[in-house]
Structure 1
Amino acid sequence: MDITFIDETAAVTPEKVQEIDDLLQFAADFLKLPDNTEMSVTFMDNAAIQIINRDYRGKDAPTDVISFALEEEGADEIPVVFDDEELADFPRMLGDIMISTERAKEQAAEYGHTYDRELGFLAVHGFLHINGYDHMTPEDEKEMFGLQKEILDAYGLKR
């Protein structure tokens, strides 16, 4: 899977980016995604993610992670349909994940675990969202959070 990383904070080390890349590659293998899958991860601060949260979700407060899935159809969108052979020529574009590193540090302290665990949790949480998982109903929440825990535990990133 090809992941584009953008660090708007200029504070995420190359080693930390590599750790998140390794975790998301593991998650992609876990979900059996095709090799030509693409996505992006942007690290930002609370102020930047608050603007996105306000503009796109109507919530004027910082949040920990926001995901924009490219494969979801909007209400008035017409689906573009290709046959399997045509689809094989195109990369699968999952979407974009934005993570507030400030919020990750705050939550790590609140929950009593490491920043690495929280950052990894947020990356996998956003990754599952851009793969069509959600937690709007109790059933969906159970499925998504169960899968999230399964991936993090299998990777070795436990609480």
Structure 2
Amino acid sequence: MSIDVNNESGWEVDEQSVLDVARYALQRMRIHPLSELSLIFVDTDAMEQLHIQWMDEQGPTDVLSFPMDELRPGKEDEEPPQGLLGDIVLCPEVAKKQGDGAGHTMDDELHLLTVHGVLHLLGYDHAEPDEEREMFGLQKEILESWRAQRDSGPASPDA
């Protein structure tokens, strides 16, 4: 899996852990190992500009996803297609505020937002209640499994 990380935010970020959770989520979703993803950390001004440009909404947001080849989760009995997943843009400053409000660290919030971004790249959405249940349930499963693996040692993403 080729994942490029670019920190333009001015914030100190644990890039390796964000990279690890992104890689884990992609493996868990059976994305071809030669597919490509970009993770970009930006400041609030840059995020606000992207938010206005692409979502027509004011103010910075926490994460934006920009799919490229519209890849979808692989199936157990099929070889998944290789391609460009796209870009996930994260704003550490917004993540810090949200993490503080939720009672956890900025890193934990960035992990959650990274998985959230991966799922959006793979076609998941949360506009409708049933979509929200599916996406957030899957997001929770992936994060819990990744944290358990991280805290106890290597485990298969398919577990």
Alignment TM class, shorter chain as reference: 0.7 to 0.9
Say if 2:11 and 2:93, in contact at 8 Å, map to a contact too: no
Alignment of 1:11-22 (within 5 A): 11-13=11-13, 16-22=14-20
Say if 2:96 and 2:106, in contact at 8 Å, map to a contact too: yes
Number of the residue aligned with 1:142: 133
Q: Secondary structure at the match of 1:36?
A: coil
Offset, 1:119: 0.7
| Aligned AA (1:20) | V
1:3 to 2:3 alignment: yes
Number of the residue aligned with 1:68: 66
Alignment of 1:7-156 (within 5 A): 7-13=7-13, 16-72=14-70, 91-156=82-147
Deviation digits for residues 30-87 of structure 1, max 9, x if unmatched? 1111111101010011111000000111112110001111134xxxxxxxxxxxxxx9
Distance across 2 between alignment mates of 1:106 and 1:31: 29
Runs of 4+ in 1 over 4 A off after TM superposition: none
| Aligned AA (1:36) | L
TM-score by length of 1: 0.83
| Aligned AA (2:38) | S
| Structure 2 runs not aligned, ≥5 long | 71-79, 149-159
Count of residue correspondences: 141
Distance across 1 between alignment mates of 2:39 and 2:108: 17
Say if 2:11 and 2:92, in contact at 8 Å, map to a contact too: no
Structure-2 change in CA distance of 1:46 and 1:10 (3 Å): closer
Q: Secondary structure at the match of 1:67?
A: strand
Larger radius of gyration: 1
Q: What value does the CA root-mean-square deviation take over the aligned residues?
A: 2.0
Distance across 1 between alignment mates of 2:60 and 2:9: 15
Distance across 2 between alignment mates of 1:135 and 1:48: 24
Say if 2:10 and 2:43, in contact at 8 Å, map to a contact too: no
Number of the residue aligned with 2:73: none
Distance across 2 between alignment mates of 1:12 and 1:42: 13
TM-score by length of 2: 0.83
Offset, 1:10: 3.8
Percentage identity across aligned positions? 39
| Aligned AA (1:26) | Y
